[in-house]
Chain A
Amino acid sequence: MILSVEKLEKQFGSLKAIDGVSFGIREREIVSLIGSNGAGKTTLVNLISGYLKPTAGRIFFGGKDITYASPFKRIKLGIGRSFQIVHLFEEATVLDNVRTPLFARYGRIKSILWSADSYVDITREAIGILKLFNLYDKKDSPAKELSEGEKKILDVAMAFALKPKLLLLDEPTSGVATHDKFSVMNTIVSAIRKEGISALIIEHDMDIVSNYSDNVLVIHEGRIMAEGKPEDVMQNKEVRETILGIQ
């Protein structure tokens, strides 16, 4: 297991947002996290990425206990994340958006005055990532000029540039036009598969969940309601009634 979550709990005042959640993600596995609004999906991702500290339980990554590690430490260990609302450096070029995490990954701050272009290896790697994510043609455009779908892809490409072992993606297709969703997911998932990265993806669209996930985790009122292969989870009576609204 690359990630193991054991009896995780998170309490906000009197509300138990996460209530005894346990699950694991294997290497190269893509797991979708589904659930109704307020079920605890984003809270769970925030706990794994270190943005929230749990009330109880443990989180192990690559065998190491990271329960109380800082987000910075987790990034260095290999956990990358994207946000539900796209966070880009809008005024900067697409290339610089990808070079920024590479600069962070490759080095501590040493050379203050060196030109960014003089880091030839980093620029080459950034271009490779842009090609992988089909954004190479836009490399010199400011990020703000990209379409919503392209912004989502760039957002993931930036997390990808950290060379994570595990990517946490919070609704990578939200805000993307329906006809573009599969194209966006094809680009993202093919890059993830090619690099052998594990991923936990929060997603609402069940067609996308079925098409791109190895496993599905269903969360409801802070607890795991079901988990397994997409086709099995879709047949689960409780999931169908409570989450999918199918009688």
Chain B
Amino acid sequence: MQWFIYVLNGLYFTAFIFLISLGLNIILGVMGILNLAHGSLYAIGAFMAAWVIITLSGLKGVPVPLLYISLISGALLAGFVGLIIERVLIRPMYGRALEYQLLITFGALLLFEDLIKLVWGGEAYYASQPFDILGKIQILGNAYPLYFLLVILVTLIVGSAVWVFITKTKMGIMLRALSLDREMATALGLEIDKLSTIAFVLGAALAGLAGSLIAPTTPVLLGFGMEPLILAFIVVVIGGLGSLKGAFIGSVIVGQIRSIGIVVFPEIELAILFLIAAVILVVKPEGLFGR
């Protein structure tokens, strides 16, 4: 029954990759901005959550549930940083060529690496308390960390909430309209600037939440956002631009292949993902569910 654990691990990878790629996809779909600093927002979320958890754990009498609630802090800070990035760096880039957007977001990525070092120092943060407290449960004869199941559950709830937001709310309908046809959205008088800000903050907060959730499971250190950024790009290539379903299916594919790959073919696990992305780019450039 070891395979079931691989599947669960795959779902866990799926969960955090889904949150990052969903944010990236919303920003790319609604604003047409390829945000290379998205990984930095993930890292900021992870550092913030780790710092809050370590700080709270050092205090006496802090209720345990507060440690879990504090995971939201990473999403909040990343959302706030996203607001500043959008207003200061991204907004002047609207309507300019893609190279400018890439340059400015790449510049932001480098800037945030240094800012993270400045704020949180160069050491690794270990904030495993939420992971340790929950312990492990027996699943088909295997001990499995309960925290991983919590991450999967939180992702399911957040993913569903984003889906309801995008498809059922007034704001979501306007965001989707902007994503589907920017020129028509402009012609209909939609408040493009405000909608863009909302999309960027939402995308940034999702990246920050992913970073927060992962923080208790691994040391948080400099350069933390690079690999998830690459994986999120692979998900967007596989799943397609502007599609929630695509982000989900792409994340499932990436998550499961990573989970199996780490065990069966660890040397080429990332290479296989790149190969799949390359094949999809050739065969179906818009992705499996893209427009």
With known contacts A89-B176, A89-B180, A111–B170 Cβ distance under 8 A:
yes
Q: Nearest CB to that of A85 among chain B residues? A: B183
Indicate if the CB atoms of B180 and A103 lie closer than 8 Å. Answer: no
Which residues in B have their C-beta under 8 angstroms from that of A71? 186-187
With known contacts A99-B173, A103-B170, A116-B169, A83–B194 Cβ distance under 8 A:
no
8 A Cβ contacts from B188-202 to A: 188-191, 194-195, 198
Q: Report the bound CA distance from A108 to B195 in whole Å.
A: 11
| Complex interface bits, A102-118 against B, C-beta within 8 A gives 1, otherwise 0 | 01110011011111110
Indicate if the CB atoms of A104 and B188 lie closer than 8 Å. Answer: yes
In the assembled complex, B110 has its CB within 8 A of some CB on chain A:
no
Q: Nearest CB to that of B176 among chain A residues? A: A92
Q: Report the bound CA distance from A101 to B254 in whole Å.
A: 38
From B176, B187, B190, A81 is in contact (CB under 8 Å) with B187
From A76, A82, A100, B174 is in contact (CB under 8 Å) with A100
The number of chain B residues with a CB under 8 A from chain A is 25
Indicate if the CB atoms of A119 and B170 lie closer than 8 Å. Answer: yes
Which residues in B have their C-beta under 8 angstroms from that of A119? 170
From B168, B177, B198, A115 is in contact (CB under 8 Å) with B168
Indicate if the CB atoms of B171 and A100 lie closer than 8 Å. Answer: no
Indicate if the CB atoms of B191 and A83 lie closer than 8 Å. Answer: no
For the complex formed, measure the closest distance between the CB of A80 and the CB atoms of chain B, giving whole angstroms.
8
For the complex formed, measure the closest distance between the CB of B253 and the CB atoms of chain A, giving whole angstroms.
22
From B165, B181, B194, B291, A88 is in contact (CB under 8 Å) with B181
Indicate if the CB atoms of B173 and A103 lie closer than 8 Å. Answer: yes
7 pairs of residues in contact across A and B, judged by CB atoms under 8 Å: A71-B187, A75-B187, A88-B184, A100-B173, A101-B189, A104-B191, A114-B170
Q: How many A-B residue pairs lie within 8 Å, measured between CB atoms?
A: 92
Q: Report the bound CA distance from A190 to B188 in whole Å.
A: 22
Q: Nearest CB to that of B161 among chain A residues? A: A113
In the assembled complex, A159 has its CB within 8 A of some CB on chain B:
yes
Which residues in A have their C-beta under 8 angstroms from that of B183? 83, 87
With known contacts A88-B181, A91-B180, A115–B187 Cβ distance under 8 A:
no
Indicate if the CB atoms of A115 and B173 lie closer than 8 Å. Answer: no
Q: Nearest CB to that of B182 among chain A residues? A: A87
Q: Nearest CB to that of A71 among chain B residues? A: B186
| Complex interface bits, B138-176 against A, C-beta within 8 A gives 1, otherwise 0 | 000000000000000000000000000100111111101
Indicate if the CB atoms of B198 and A117 lie closer than 8 Å. Answer: no
Which residues in A have their C-beta under 8 angstroms from that of B194? 109
Indicate if the CB atoms of A104 and B171 lie closer than 8 Å. Answer: no
In the assembled complex, A169 has its CB within 8 A of some CB on chain B:
no
Q: Nearest CB to that of A117 among chain B residues? A: B168
From A72, A87, A99, A112, B184 is in contact (CB under 8 Å) with A87
From B165, B180, B190, B291, A104 is in contact (CB under 8 Å) with B190
From B169, B176, B181, A112 is in contact (CB under 8 Å) with B169
Which residues in B have their C-beta under 8 angstroms from that of A114? 169-171
In the assembled complex, A158 has its CB within 8 A of some CB on chain B:
yes
| Complex interface bits, A151-174 against B, C-beta within 8 A gives 1, otherwise 0 | 000000011011000000000000
In the assembled complex, A90 has its CB within 8 A of some CB on chain B:
yes
Q: Report the bound CA distance from A161 to B177 in whole Å.
A: 15
From B184, B185, B189, A105 is in contact (CB under 8 Å) with B189
In the assembled complex, A96 has its CB within 8 A of some CB on chain B:
yes
| Complex interface bits, A49-93 against B, C-beta within 8 A gives 1, otherwise 0 | 100000000000000000000011001100011110001111110
Indicate if the CB atoms of A109 and B173 lie closer than 8 Å. Answer: no
Indicate if the CB atoms of B170 and A89 lie closer than 8 Å. Answer: no
Indicate if the CB atoms of B188 and A101 lie closer than 8 Å. Answer: yes
Indicate if the CB atoms of B181 and A72 lie closer than 8 Å. Answer: no
With known contacts A88-B181, A109-B195, A162–B173 Cβ distance under 8 A:
no
Q: Report the bound CA distance from A76 to B189 in whole Å.
A: 7
Indicate if the CB atoms of A75 and B171 lie closer than 8 Å. Answer: no
Indicate if the CB atoms of B169 and A115 lie closer than 8 Å. Answer: yes
From B165, B181, B191, A89 is in contact (CB under 8 Å) with B181
Indicate if the CB atoms of A159 and B187 lie closer than 8 Å. Answer: yes
The 7 A-B pairs with the shortest beta carbon distances in the complex, nearest first, are A87-B184, A75-B189, A101-B188, A89-B180, A104-B189, A100-B177, A104-B190
From A80, A83, A92, A159, B173 is in contact (CB under 8 Å) with A92
* Apart from A75-B189, A162-B188: 19 A-B pairs, beta carbons within 8 A: A72-B186, A75-B188, A76-B189, A82-B187, A83-B187, A89-B180, A89-B181, A89-B184, A91-B176, A92-B176, A103-B173, A109-B174, A109-B191, A109-B194, A111-B171, A116-B168, A116-B170, A116-B172, A158-B188
